[in-house]
Amino acid sequence: MPLLVMKFGGTSVADLARIENAAKKVQAEVARGYDVIVIVSAMSGETNKMVGFVEGTSKLYDAREYDAVVSSGENVTAGLLALRLQEMDIAARSWQGWQVPINTTSAHSSARFISIPRDNIDAKFAEGFKVAVVAGFQGVSAEGRITTLGRGGSDTTAVAFAAAFGAERCDIYTDVDGVYTTDPRITNKARKLDKIAFEEMLELASLGAKVLQTRSVELAMRYKVRLRVLSSFEDTDETSGTLVCDEDEIMESKVVSGVAYSRDEAKVTLVRVEDRPGIAAAIFGPLAEAGVNVDMIVQNISEVEAGSVKGATTDMTFSCPTNQVARAQKAMEDAVAAGMITYDGIVVDSDVAKISVVGIGMRSHAGVAATMFKALSKENVNIKVIATSEIKISVLIDRKYMELAVQALHDAFELEKA
């Protein structure tokens, strides 16, 4: 039998009515001749409630017990969906992570997959079962303890099962009907994409698009798992949603596929840093050790003051999430105290946003940067920092211009056109 993986997020299983709706979608795929592995999240809001219980019980909690508590929501959903399917005369069984087993590392709350043996679930399919409902977000360590994969872990679980079982496709059911050229809440010209390449989706996910979790896209790209993003609240067929696939499946890509944004960015500048070999390592090493996610980096031209005994100095600018600014400042202060670096001061601008254009077509087309900068200039949007990659151009701008910039770029690249 061909096999399909279906994943339902928290809003798709938020109550018994939505669980029944999910069951009907599974039933439709079984009727098409598939064996189905369903990955479920906890009901919407349940994981946050469990986290609150843990934090209310113990401020310095045991990470092993934290995972035992917060993984319970997925177990409830899996059991309820299996029961609903059984009531529809579909042979279904629920599975917790340890029962599969989903073998992971022992890094509680941020575990990574080691292996997913097929034997137990394959045996049930051989007995005549049609659906395995698996609790997402969780696994089991070598020590036999429950582990969790971090936020968005159910998406990653779904892709991992699709890879392990050689599934024809992995369908991700969520509260949107696909991947759009940009956020439809910002511009009503946003268009749903029929297909998008793994590399583009990975860039969009890492830049702030919340349709898919970044780790799940990385895994899908590595194992060539075809993903389909579609709504659990609409009638769907084989052509619904957005297919995330290999570039070879897309006949002709637009130069730019989408515009992404992140409003929670900060620009940090170290003023008058000593300019010498190894200074970048001395700055960004401590930042990495402190867990600061540095993104865009700009180093200014060196200056040498007349009569200076320090020699050349430079300003070093980087961006990071706003909630990591304090951590970044502490890391730099510690680096000064350790004699690793010297600087005259730190300037933080927490009122910026990152805007990015993404497209695999950029590899073979010139002029994307010129079009982007011209569009922003026309709207009097000042660019503070620029960073580029093979399929992406990102800029930092004042946050108050974020929506204007997204709309202007969407128009400039004519993304509303198919």
* 366 pLDDT tier (thresholds 50, 70, 90): confident
Domain count, the chain: 2
In the structure encoding, which two tokens stand for residue 242, read together?
A: 């957005």
Using CA atoms, how far residue 148 sits from 72, 97, 217, 345, in Å, is: 10, 10, 18, 40
Q: What is the pLDDT of residues 156-198, one digit of tens each?
A: 999 999 999 999 999 999 988 999 999 999 999 999 999 999 9
Average pLDDT score over the chain: 92
Judge whether 191 lies within some domain. no
Give the domain-ending residue among 175, 210, 228. Answer: 175
Residue 198 included in any domain: no
pLDDT class of 307 with cuts at 50, 70, 90: very low
Task: Give the residue numbers of the binding site for ATP.
Answer: 7-10, 174-175, 180, 185, 210-211
Contact 211, 174 (CB under 8 A): yes
Which residues make Cβ contacts (< 8 Å) with residue 208, sequence separation at least 6?
260, 261, 262, 263, 354
Annotated binding site for substrate: 47, 74
Give the pLDDT of residue 97: 96
User: Residue positions in the annotated binding site?
Assistant: 7-10, 47, 74, 174-175, 180, 185, 210-211
Decide if pLDDT at 306 tops 70. Answer: no
Same domain, 20 and 156: yes
Would you state the structure tokens that stand for residue 13, as one six-digit string? 């299983």
CATH assignment of the domain containing 163:
3.40.1160.10
CB contact at 8 A, 414 and 179: no
Residue 301 scores a pLDDT above 80: no
Give the structural domain span for 64: 3-175
| Lowest-pLDDT range of 74-78, 287-291, 308-312 | 308-312
41: Cβ contacts below 8 Å, ≥ 6 apart: 7, 8, 9, 10, 12, 13, 47, 73, 74, 77, 136, 137, 154
Q: What is the DSSP string of 137-193?
A: SEEE-TTS-EEE--TTHHHHHHHHHHHHHT-SEEEEEESSSS-BSS-TTT-TT--B-
| pLDDT score, position 309 | 46
Q: Which of 129, 146, 175 is the endpoint of a domain?
A: 175
Distance between CA atoms of residues 18 and 72, nearest Å: 19
Domain end marker among 175, 209, 234: 175
**Tokens representing residue 168 in the block:** 């024809």
Q: Where in 242-344 does DSSP place strands (E)?
A: 242-245, 258-274, 297-299, 303-304, 312-321
Q: Is residue 188 part of a domain?
A: no
Which sign does the torsion angle of CA 329, 335, 336, 338 carry? positive
Q: Side-chain half-sphere of 57: how many Cα atoms within 13 Å?
A: 12
**Residue 274 belongs to a domain:** yes
Measured in residues, the chain has a length of 418
